[in-house]
Amino acid sequence: MKRQDVIVVGAGSAGCVTARRCAELGLHTLLLDRKPKNEVGQKVCGDEISKSHFEATGINIPSDNEISSVIDGADVYPPNLMNELKVRDWSDFDGWTVDRLAFGQRLLNEAIKAGVKFLPNIHVAEPTLIGDQVTGVHYRDLSTREETTAKSKLVIDASGFAAVIRNKLDSPLIEKNIDKSDVALCYREILTLKVPLAEPQVARVFLGGKIAPQGYAWIFPKGVKEVNAGVGITGGSGKGSPKSYFETFKASYPLLFKSTTIDGKGGAVPVRRPLKSLVGNGVAFVGDAALQVNPIHGGGIGAGIRAGVILGEVAREAIARRDLTAKGLWTYNTRYLPDFGNRLASLEIFRRLLQGVNDEDLDFGFEKRLLEAEDLMSANRGEGLSLGIADKMKRVRRGAGRISLLLKLQKATSLMKKISKEYTAYPSDPSGLDTWERHVLNIIEDANFE
Ligand SMILES: Cc1cc2nc3c(=O)[nH]c(=O)nc-3n(C[C@H](O)[C@H](O)[C@H](O)COP(=O)(O)OP(=O)(O)OC[C@H]3O[C@@H](n4cnc5c(N)ncnc54)[C@H](O)[C@@H]3O)c2cc1C
């Protein structure tokens, strides 16, 4: 096979958008996936995506059969299911639950239309290397069992949580081992309800150690009588599997009583800041393979497609300059990490705060409104928890008796600011990475709220 400009491994949302952008910019782009073509897009997911990601990237919004439900609000419940936070009228939250297969098929077809060459039923085994420069991939065709090596100037690992290329590379720039406490193990079912939803445009989120240790349970509408409901728990925590927590939740939450299961499956998603470097020599990472996921809710479709658009542009520039070293690809880091990556890093601190608060304190915090819907939205936008002095005083009065909880909130606010400052000052080339990483790890180590 002729040497490609770019090989993208994985045709999930991040891979399709990246490949499409590469092809639109004139690069010969090969997209490989182990699935048959008509299954590309199928994915165990909560299926929810905010409109803001489409506005930021210019990618067409979901339409027609891609849309399961329009979502314009969320109810966030503490463990005792009382005093829930009602998030309404926040435009950056508005979006949809999508039919994952229809949405994924559209992204694939848009990539093919832009000129991407797509090969289905391809299992990519490993990268090929000359020294420490990635030069292509080695793969097996699952239909013919034939093994092939394909060469390219740049390999993009978009293989999702499996990170099949990243996991086979040894380089000080590339993080291989992800701590299990930074991975959410999930189980979700698509359910037909016995009773129609009263508010079919409102997502529900449930916090608490008994429902979902170090994670949360969700019910996202997919129509008036259909929902996507599941549980995500952070790896290593809890005594049971995500499925067992889900069974308990389903048996105790009246809305789900006597529902019929259409589909039930498990999955995993990283829930920490993105990789310290999204590039190596001859290689770049995007989507879950780059840990580009919102750490508080595990939403990664938006974070990955935002990165894909940037990566396509950086690939084009690097190939034009004929510099496919990590240094030559570094602008992907400097465009993504101080911007959207900054937001994700600050949300990792927020996730750690939520995980460090016990059920009783969570109930108290919700009852006394120590956290408002506005805080959640502002944290989600990457603006931290901006507690003004007057605001602080009001909350101190409301939180009297739980000073430790207020102190945790204040510590999280300060660490979110600190980490944001580090991300804004992300190094302009690889030489500054070690020092920067040390600063970031110090902040993360400090973000212990137990
Ligand atoms: C239970 C659950 C609920 C979630 N809910 C939401 C949500 O509501 N909203 C949201 O935004 N995000 C959600 N996420 C996260 C979201 O699904 C992911 O962040 C997103 O799908 C990642 O896209 P991706 O393209 O990086 O990877 P993927 O979608 O995983 O795509 C990777 C592709 O690579 C292919 N591949 C893998 N290995 C190989 C190989 N060796 N050779 C060839 N091809 C290979 C796969 O077949 C796949 O097509 C959820 C995740 C889980 C597990």
* Ligand 1 neighbour 311 (Cβ under 6 A): no
Q: How confident is the model at residue 53 (pLDDT cuts 50, 70, 90)?
A: very high
Closest CA to 27 of 313, 250, 285: 313
**What CA–CA distance (Å, rounded) separates 256 from 194?**
8
Which residues, including other chains, have CB under 8 Å from residue 188's CB and lie 6 or more apart? 44, 45, 46, 228, 229, 230, 231, 246, 264, 265, 266, 267
Question: What pLDDT score was predicted for residue 386?
Answer: 61
Distance CA(80)–CA(100), nearest Å, equals 32
Give the DSSP letter string of 135-157. Answer: EEEEEEETTT--EEEEEEEEEEE
Most confident region among 73-77, 177-181, 275-279 by mean pLDDT: 275-279
pLDDT at 387: 60
Between CA 173 and CA 190 the distance in angstroms is 40
Confidence band of 407 (pLDDT split at 50, 70, 90): confident
What is the whole-number distance in angstroms between the Cα of residue 288 and the centre of ligand 1? 7
CA of 438 to the centre of ligand 1 (A): 30
Q: Exposure string (b/e) for 12-36, b if CB count within 10 Å is 16 or more?
A: bbbbbbbbbbbbbbebbbbbbbbbe
**Protein residue whose Cα sits closest to atom 30 of ligand 1:** 160
Pocket probe mutation, ligand 1, options 20, 93, 159, max atoms within 8 Å of Cβ: 159
Tell me the pTM: 0.96
**Cα 240 to ligand 1 centre (Å):** 24
Task: For residue 334, report the distance from its CA to the centre of ligand 1, in Å.
Answer: 24
On the question of pLDDT at 376 being above 90, the answer is: no
- Give 220's strand partners: 228
Per-residue pLDDT tens digits for 309-334: 999 999 999 999 999 999 999 999 99
Could you give the CA distance from residue 251 to residue 215 in angstroms, rounded to a whole number? 19
Q: Pick from 8, 18, 34 the residue to mutate for probing ligand 1's pocket: most ligand atoms within 8 Å of its CB.
A: 34
Q: Are strands 73-77 and 202-207 parallel, antiparallel or unpaired?
A: parallel
Give tens-digit pLDDT for 210-248.
999 999 999 999 999 999 999 999 976 667 899 999 999
Per-residue pLDDT of 72-110, as tens digits, reads: 999 999 999 999 999 888 777 799 999 999 999 999 999
Ligand 1 within 6 A of CB of 395: no
% of the chain residues with pLDDT over 90: 85
CB distance 230 to ligand 1 below 6 Å: yes
| Residue for token pair 């499956």 | 265
Atom of ligand 1 nearest to the CA of 159: 34
Per-residue pLDDT of 279-301, as tens digits, reads: 999 999 999 999 999 999 999 99
- Give me ligand 1 centre to Cα 98, in Å: 14
Domains by residue range for the chain, with CATH: 4-47+101-177+274-329 (3.50.50.60), 65-98+180-270 (3.30.9.10), 344-446 (no CATH)
Query: How much is the pLDDT for 390?
Result: 62
CB 331 within 8 A of CB 317: yes
Comparing CA positions, the residue from 280, 4, 319 lying closest to residue 131 is 280
Report which protein residue has its CA nearest ligand 1's atom 44. Answer: 33
Q: Is the CB of 47 under 6 A from ligand 1?
A: yes
Whether 328 is in the pocket of ligand 1, judged by its Cβ within 6 Å, is: no
Question: What does the pLDDT read at residue 388?
Answer: 59
**pLDDT number for residue 237:** 62
pLDDT digits (tens, 9 = 90+) for 4-52: 999 999 999 999 999 999 999 999 999 999 999 999 999 999 999 999 9
Q: What is the pLDDT of residues 333-366, one digit of tens each?
A: 999 999 999 999 999 999 999 999 999 999 998 9
pLDDT of residue 19: 98
Report the percentage of the chain scoring pLDDT > 70: 96
Query: What phi and psi values does residue 340 have, to the nearest 5 degrees?
Result: -70, -35
Ligand 1 nearest atom to the CA of residue 158, by list position: 26
